[in-house]
Amino acid sequence: MSDKCVYCRCDLNDGRAVSVCDRCGRHVWGDKMFNAIKSSMGNAKEKGDLFQGSVNEDVQREFRKAA
């Protein structure tokens, strides 16, 4: 299953948790912020359902702040 970047629609084939390519992510959020988003989403995936609710809220808050 391949994903597409929500901004430029390029293919994302590395199974990342966030549907944004590196180029667009850096452009939109900046390097540091994009890395934080990627790692918090990756962690949420690894931790599974137990922490999903609170982690998702954190991520959504980060997205709103960065938007």
What does the binding site for Zn ion look like in residue numbers (CB under 5 A)?
5, 7-8, 21, 24
Distance CA 7, CA 20 (A): 7
Minimum CB distance to Zn ion smaller for 3 or for 62: 3
Minimal distance in Å, beta carbon 8 to Zn ion?
A: 3
Q: How many H helices and E strands in the chain?
A: 3, 2
Distance CA 40, CA 56 (A): 9
Minimal distance in Å, beta carbon 6 to Zn ion?
A: 8
What stretches of the chain adopt beta strand conformation (E)? 3-4, 11-12
Minimal distance in Å, beta carbon 52 to Zn ion?
A: 26
Minimum CB distance to Zn ion smaller for 7 or for 40: 7
Minimum CB distance to Zn ion smaller for 26 or for 36: 26
DSSP 8-state assignment for residue 4: E
